[in-house]
A = this chain, B = another copy of it.
């Protein structure tokens, strides 16, 4: 049979990161390509006891169909946390549980974006979000960033030049892949621009709690008086990603429509992981656990930044992350980080080339993403040193 795929997916490719993972599977290769949280932060013993108890004593709750919006006590816990930690008005907004932060992006796109509408994105941005927008045949328009986040003048220019602009997608805090945090001033300006052009904002905040110095960056959602911000959060980076438990916080009309769309996608999010997240937060202080993750990532990041400053040749620049999992490195413009990644892979070190995170992935890009969350300090230093050797030879 000659298969004819739909227009929306016919040119869609899997994340290029997966190709790199083939190299990363070699235990001799140092992978600075991943985006996984450090497994030593997973509270597996605690979850093990909770899982046993739940399945033993609450079989119907754990194993029967659940409701699409999610486990009610978990929704309340998330609301309480968003109110307390993020100053989000959870009287005016609702929370639904979704199958990882990715699904919050997917459902928001599905319910708002017609084929051909434009989604405005930071450039570089998260590949999973870019591919999601592409999978609904959205038109993508990239806005450049500097060390303070999205360039607001460029944002407004981009909106003006776009066909049916509908959504601005941003990861304002400890952005993936750049490690950049948007200033409070820019957040306010971005919100005002969204207001002026009547756009939805997707605020994707999976890393917000992973601040190295404990500094809190007020969310765009916390200044959302119009109900135009869809806030996407996740337990992936603060509990465990394999659980696939995320949440969407938005105006009730939005979460209601998203729930209708979710029903047709996967009926509801798996019960057991929802119950694990809920019960874990009842029994333990998740904030204390997050403190430990922060300290760990801070140390790893400092190790990497120090190694970069020591081993990378002049002309190579980097961002200065204050939280999250990534640092963005830019080679002089004439170099192609994709081509160089192949040389690096032969030298047993891998990263993700920057073109992966761009609207036009086929365009040459001299930047690349490095991750420090999963490797040991020794491996981080060794990996950066190997990269430095390749870069110096060019």
The residues of A with any CB-CB pair to B shorter than 8 Å are 1-9, 12-15, 36-37, 39, 42, 44-45, 47-49, 51-56, 59-60, 62-66, 68, 99-100, 102-103, 106, 110-115, 117, 128, 131-132, 134-135, 198, 226-228, 236, 240-244, 251, 253-254, 257, 259-261, 263-273
| Cβ contact within 8 Å between A59 and B36 | no
In the complex, which residues of chain B have a beta carbon less than 8 angstroms from the beta carbon of A59? Answer: 39, 42, 44
In the complex, which residues of chain B have a beta carbon less than 8 angstroms from the beta carbon of A273? Answer: 270, 272-273
In the assembled complex, the Cα of A112 lies from the Cα of B3 at a distance in Å of 9
In the complex, which residues of chain B have a beta carbon less than 8 angstroms from the beta carbon of A55? Answer: 44-45, 47-48, 51
| Cβ contact within 8 Å between B51 and A9 | no
| Cβ contact within 8 Å between B227 and A1 | yes
- A183 → chain B, closest Cβ, in Å? 25
- Known A-B contacts A228-B1, A254-B3; the reply to A244 vs B269 at CB < 8 A is yes
In the complex, which residues of chain B have a beta carbon less than 8 angstroms from the beta carbon of A13? Answer: 260
In the assembled complex, the Cα of A87 lies from the Cα of B12 at a distance in Å of 33
| Cβ contact within 8 Å between B12 and A39 | no
In the assembled complex, the Cα of A65 lies from the Cα of B101 at a distance in Å of 13
In the complex, which residues of chain B have a beta carbon less than 8 angstroms from the beta carbon of A251? Answer: 1, 3
User: What is the chain B residue whose CB lies nearest that of A131?
Assistant: B264
| Cβ contact within 8 Å between A56 and B48 | yes
- Known A-B contacts A1-B198, A226-B1, A272-B272; the reply to A48 vs B51 at CB < 8 A is yes
Partner of A49, one of B52, B102, B110: B52
- Known A-B contacts A51-B51, A55-B48, A115-B115; the reply to A240 vs B63 at CB < 8 A is yes
User: What is the chain B residue whose CB lies nearest that of A117?
Assistant: B6
In the assembled complex, the Cα of A48 lies from the Cα of B61 at a distance in Å of 13
- A237 → chain B, closest Cβ, in Å? 11
In the assembled complex, the Cα of A2 lies from the Cα of B199 at a distance in Å of 10
In the complex, which residues of chain B have a beta carbon less than 8 angstroms from the beta carbon of A241? Answer: 63-65
- A64 → chain B, closest Cβ, in Å? 5
| Cβ contact within 8 Å between B257 and A5 | yes
- Known A-B contacts A5-B112, A266-B103; the reply to A66 vs B260 at CB < 8 A is no
| Cβ contact within 8 Å between A265 and B106 | yes
- A74 → chain B, closest Cβ, in Å? 14
In the complex, which residues of chain B have a beta carbon less than 8 angstroms from the beta carbon of A100? Answer: 266-267
In the complex, which residues of chain B have a beta carbon less than 8 angstroms from the beta carbon of A260? Answer: 9, 12-14, 131
In the assembled complex, the Cα of A159 lies from the Cα of B313 at a distance in Å of 65
In the complex, which residues of chain B have a beta carbon less than 8 angstroms from the beta carbon of A7? Answer: 114
In the complex, which residues of chain B have a beta carbon less than 8 angstroms from the beta carbon of A6? Answer: 110-114, 117
| Cβ contact within 8 Å between A242 and B9 | no
- Known A-B contacts A114-B6, A264-B102; the reply to A39 vs B15 at CB < 8 A is no
- Known A-B contacts A44-B56, A63-B44; the reply to A266 vs B244 at CB < 8 A is yes
